[in-house]
Amino acid sequence: MDESALRALADERIDWRYKGFPARFDGLTVGRLIEARPPLAEFGTPLLVLEAGALDHNLSLMAQYCAAHGVDLAPHGKTTMAPQLFARQLDSGAWAITAATIAHVRAYRAFGVDTIVLANQLVDADSLGWVAGELRRSARFRLLCFADSVAGVERMQAALAAADAPRPIDVVIDIGASGGRTGCRDAETAETVARAIRPSDRLRLAGVGGFEGALAADRSAQGLARVRGYLRTLRDIATRLDTAGLFDQVDEIIVTAGGSAYFDDVVEILTGDWRTSLPVRTLLRSGAYITHDDGHYRRLTPLPQSEPSSHAAGGFRAALSIRGRVLSMPEPGLALLDFGKRDAPIDLGMPEPHTVHRPDGTTDQLTDCSVKALADQHAFLAYGDGTRLSIGDVVACGISHPCTAFDKWQLIAIVEGGHVVDVIRTFF
């Protein structure tokens, strides 16, 4: 990655644009703030924070998992859209960073990411012209793009030729499922699309891929059977295309899948003895692992949850929390906190209260509390008789679904030992 572009993030001056960063920090650069290591208690609310130890643990654990199972990782960058975190993922051994849109690809290139998997279709001429320019500008840039139709392939070929792309982009045949998102619905269509790529001078058939995560909502037998059946289909199609001799322009076959919920099934089904003419690179695209969560992924993760105090590498740790201050206690058993839908995700579950921080510096674990609803700027916290809350207390809540937490924040504090030790910049 471009180290100078990453270092430049420290020159950003803090002001009214960044919620949770109070007026006392106005005018400071992010770099100066980090040098001061201010106590978390000096920050405002609402505030989204990352716990440094959990972040480090998750990065290390996923790298160990991939190495142990002989797979590579191209984490989905849309989870965080944070180049500083991309750099840490690449430093931990990631092979590439995955994007969902051309806007993501452009953001990644602004920070020097060289290998990008665009897990989506790319068919508009302007975007393909920009890709051609990036290929000319950098010999290190490699883009893998999905395709699921002959019409899409023809549009890519025409636009890249018109822009005089200096070398081909790699194309992965997108394999879908009935009623799902993009992707070829059967092996015959996949082979037809692959054969349309083969004569192109601006495209190169590199593999097959897809996404299993949208095929199930839980780990029920029915859900897992659908996920695993889809992955077997993906494997069969890769073998079929190889048998047809369609990968003769590459030196390996890329087979890619793997969200953050079923990557163990991907590993089991898409590794092992392929008996293909070329070696197979199995590429996971899991993204949410870097922060994990206290809701959706806690329930679905293939690895057991680790307790924050544990030093075992048994499972991921929740690294994100949203902090809100008690503003009002208008009736017994109800407290209103100062964060809402604009600050915390609700698409896959409500935030889960876990700790209260009092103005005198004391803390308590919360057990008889739940967030019942979020308004735009308020959280409705229900609590039992055994819970002691006061106006001004700060309640920390775990979140469910990091992908819709990061996009609500431009600056996110990383906390260690009660102090802010780093600040992450997002680009949504």
Q: CATH number of the domain at 260, please.
A: 3.20.20.10
Record the pTM.
0.95
Question: What is the C-alpha radius of gyration for the chain, rounded to an integer number of angstroms?
Answer: 23
Residue 327 lies in a domain: yes
The answer on 232 and 167 residing in a single domain is yes
Q: Is position 407 within any domain?
A: yes
For residue 57, CA distances in Å to 64, 68, 132, 285 come to 11, 16, 38, 19
The answer to whether residues 212 and 118 belong to one domain is yes
pLDDT of residue 259: 86
* 133 & 260 share domain: yes
Domain containing residue 346: 3-51+304-425
Instruction: Find, among 100, 110, 151, 102, the residue nearest to 131 by Cα.
Output: 102
CB 324 within 8 A of CB 399: no
Domain count, the chain: 2
Distance (Å, whole) CA 315 – CA 63: 12
The C-alpha atoms of residue 96 and residue 116 are separated, in whole angstroms, by 5
Same domain? For 269 and 319 the reply is: no
Instruction: Give the Cα-Cα-Cα angle 310, 323, 321 (nearest 5 degrees).
Output: 35
Instruction: Identify whether residues 136 and 43 lie together within a single domain.
Output: no
d(C-alpha 268, C-alpha 257), whole Å: 12
Please report whether residue 188 resides in a domain.
Answer: yes
Domain boundary among the residues 234, 251, 286 is at 286
**pLDDT for residue 304:** 67
pLDDT score at 428 = 95
Domain shared by 251 and 186, yes or no: yes
Q: Kindly tell me the number of DSSP H helices and DSSP E strands found in the chain.
A: 12, 18
CATH number (domain holding residue 400): 2.40.37.20
Indicate whether 145 and 242 sit together in one domain.
Answer: yes
Together in a domain, 154 and 240: yes
Block means of pLDDT (10 residues each) for the chain, 428 residues, are: 98 97 98 98 98 97 96 98 98 98 98 98 97 98 98 98 98 93 96 97 98 91 95 98 98 95 96 97 97 94 60 78 98 97 97 97 95 98 95 98 97 98 98
Q: Is 228 helix (H, G, I), strand (E, B) or coil?
A: helix
Instruction: Please report the pLDDT score of residue 396 as a whole number.
Output: 98
CA of 384: how far to CAs of 103, 352, 358, in Å? 46, 15, 18
Same domain assignment for residues 327 and 264:
no
* Spatial contact of 121 and 183, defined as CB atoms under 8 Å apart: no
- Last residue in a domain, options 253, 286, 319: 286
Contact 142, 114 (CB under 8 A): yes
Q: Domain for residue 151, yes or no?
A: yes
Query: Looking at residue 84, what is its pLDDT?
Result: 98
249 within domain boundaries: yes
Same domain, residue pair 145 and 10:
no
The answer to whether 75 and 285 have CB atoms below 8 angstroms apart is yes
- In this structure, the answer to whether residues 309 and 267 fall within a common structural domain is no
Establish if 86 belongs to a structural domain. no
Residue 91 in any domain: the answer is no
Last residue of a domain, one of 236, 254, 286: 286
pLDDT of residue 258: 87
Q: Identify whether residues 240 and 370 lie together within a single domain.
A: no
Q: For residue 332, is it within any domain?
A: yes
